Structure 1
Amino acid sequence: MNHAPHLWLALSPHGFGHAAMTAPVVAELRRRLPGLQLTIQTTISRPFLDSRYRDFTLVPDIADFGFRMLSSVAIDLESSAAGYITLHRDFDRLMDAEAARLAAARPDLVLSNVAYVPLAAAGRAGIPAVALSSLNWADMVAHYLGDRPDMAPVLAQIRAAYGSARAFLRCIPAQTMTLPNVIDIGPIAAPGRNRRDQIAAPGEKVGLVAFGGIDHPLALEAWPSLPGWRWFLGGGQVPDRPDMAPWQASGLTFSDLVASVDVVVTKPGYGTFTEAGMVGTPVLYVARPDWPECPHLDNWLQAHTQALSISAESLIDGSLEMLLRKLFCLPKQPVAVPTGVDQAVDFLVPTLGACERS
């Protein structure tokens, strides 16, 4: 008997990038499988999910947390280590509970970006599972916390969780991975449309400041006022200034806003980098040399748009105008194409599509 396929999507709540990255894949899945049911498991805010997904059931509870952060670029290592020790203290009982939840929901496939607990639970419940991301928490935790003796059993369980998936679809640009089931695919994003005429007056310059869903300690009140410039802010408190407004005031989707501004000011992150690199929007980004993804993200971005690595201090110390001039003098680059969307969907459809034929 035929039934509509049911996708359980588990999204890491570590910023907005995991949710943003997966949205175009789900949109293409729904185009090919119009009856697809979608359940999203995450603690990312409903308004953000509504801006990227439609018609879904939300399960606002997920054990994975990524890292505990002090800011958008600073990891709280002690709190993160303690969080992992607590999470794995009774991992078997956690797996039983999560497997029971999945068994009750009866999805046909678990897709995770890139929470590992739902992958392990799917394996225990006998449900097919696939991971999709540009990073994984096994290699991330090993990089930052792997020298701590009490993390060895934790890392073993994380690696086993990822290894239980049918595949890990690694979308470039991506960190180097040591997992056994990695399949490389192209970049994933939903490039926006340039709707500049709706947000900028003739001759006006417009920028977007966005640090990816995790608070960044940037003193926006000290942001220099540049003649002819106006700024949309992607998060945090908006100073009472005529040249600043929350990004939602643009009336555009976030992707369209990225495609419509003169510059994006951000930190290294898959979603914003790929969306900018697919439409050619110049990017000023705060360097993050300790983050394992960064060399790969940086090189990819610089190959697809004008991009300049800067310090956070240079945004508010009077250097911004000079940095913008330097950025705009860089040679333009050929934009990227989101080939990874179709590659990911080609891999996922046979499992979900089988439901319609069963």
Structure 2
Amino acid sequence: MPAFNNITDVGLTGGSPRYSSDDLRSLWGITAPVEKTILLTFGGLGLQQIPYDNLARFPDWQFIIFDQSAPDLPNLVKINDHKYRPVDFMPICGRVVSKPGYSTFSEATILGLPIVTIPREDFAEATFILEGITNYNQHQIITPSEFFQGTWDFLHELPQIPKISQPIAKDGNEAIANAVLNYLQTK
């Protein structure tokens, strides 16, 4: 394996949606307007901790989740097909509510989707990820008690605007692919 001597700063990386918004809405029965469609994605945070009772406070909203153990609720859409990824649903959502995680935050930022998040003490990169979100994306940073014990009134509030007005580069996938191609072409 060749040694790379340079570190190059590239734009954000991540997946791109693979399906049309109309197809996803039709297939999964998503009828709420974008601003009332929320993607809940928590990876390893422990989905059983989500206070699903709060969803009853938003009967005309729809919440999308990939947790098959979530309760059956009229406004909760459980995605049970593994070919779909959270990024596929982002274009039909008004916000993503998630734990700090690079790929979800990067994909949401690339797509211009506001992020609601809860700080995590147990995740070393969380501080840097939260700084990036507050600098470059519309966001709401809520306390664990607002999420776990609160009424989710934060969904009625407007996200905060990014601190930095200059947008972050969103072409990391292309920059990395071009760097690899350039490297291989010189060999």
Could you say which residue in structure 1 is the equivalent of 2:9?
Answer: 184
Say whether 1:331 aligns with 2:161.
Answer: yes
Mapping 1:26-65, distance limit 5 Å: none
The letter for the 2-side match of 1:273 is F
Could you say which residue in structure 2 is the equivalent of 1:257?
Answer: 89
Q: Distance in 2 between matches of 1:202 and 1:258?
A: 13
Bigger radius of gyration, 1 or 2? 1
Q: CA deviation at 1:317?
A: 2.2
Structure 1 residues 217 and 240, CA gap change in structure 2 (3 angstroms): closer
Q: Distance in 2 between matches of 1:345 and 1:338?
A: 14
Structure 1 residues 201 and 215, CA gap change in structure 2 (3 angstroms): closer
* Alignment partner of 1:311 out of 116, 140, 143: 143
CA deviation vs aligned residue, 1:8-59 (integer Å, no higher than 9, x gap): xxxxxxxxxxxxxxxxxxxxxxxxxxxxxxxxxxxxxxxxxxxxxxxxxxxx
SS of 1:232 mapped into structure 2: strand
* Preserved CA contact (<8 Å) 2:115 2:138: yes
* Alignment partner of 1:240 out of 55, 72, 76: 72
Q: Distance in 1 between matches of 2:35 and 2:7?
A: 46
SS of 1:278 mapped into structure 2: helix
* Preserved CA contact (<8 Å) 1:303 1:334: no
* Preserved CA contact (<8 Å) 1:305 1:334: no
* Alignment partner of 2:21 out of 177, 195, 203: 195
Q: CA deviation at 1:295?
A: 2.4
The letter for the 2-side match of 1:195 is S
Could you say which residue in structure 1 is the equivalent of 2:152?
Answer: 320
Q: CA deviation at 1:241?
A: 1.1
* Alignment partner of 1:218 out of 49, 65, 71: 49
Q: CA deviation at 1:181?
A: 6.2
Structure 1 residues 349 and 204, CA gap change in structure 2 (3 angstroms): closer
* Preserved CA contact (<8 Å) 2:68 2:80: no
Mapping 1:262-301, distance limit 5 Å: 262-301=94-133
Structure with higher strand content? 1
Provide the TM-score with structure 2 as the length reference: 0.74
Q: Which runs of 5+ in 1 are unaligned?
A: 1-127, 130-165, 168-179
Mapping 1:7-22, distance limit 5 Å: none
CA deviation vs aligned residue, 1:146-203 (integer Å, no higher than 9, x gap): xxxxxxxxxxxxxxxxxxxx23xxxxxxxxxxxx864432221234488278233458
CA deviation vs aligned residue, 1:202-253 (integer Å, no higher than 9, x gap): 587111110135644414443341131111113351202111121357x965
Q: Distance in 2 between matches of 1:335 and 1:205?
A: 26
Provide the TM-score with structure 1 as the length reference: 0.42
Percent identity reads: 22
Q: Distance in 1 between matches of 2:128 and 2:150?
A: 30
Structure 1 residues 305 and 279, CA gap change in structure 2 (3 angstroms): same
The letter for the 1-side match of 2:160 is L
CA deviation vs aligned residue, 1:259-304 (integer Å, no higher than 9, x gap): 2211111110011101111122121111114533222211222233
Q: CA deviation at 1:343?
A: 2.3
Structure 1 residues 219 and 296, CA gap change in structure 2 (3 angstroms): closer
Structure 1 residues 261 and 334, CA gap change in structure 2 (3 angstroms): farther
Structure 1 residues 302 and 195, CA gap change in structure 2 (3 angstroms): farther
Q: Distance in 1 between matches of 2:113 and 2:60?
A: 18
* Preserved CA contact (<8 Å) 1:191 1:275: yes
Structure 1 residues 204 and 351, CA gap change in structure 2 (3 angstroms): closer
SS of 2:111 mapped into structure 1: coil
Question: What is the Cα-based RMSD across aligned positions, in Å?
Answer: 3.3
* Preserved CA contact (<8 Å) 1:223 1:315: no
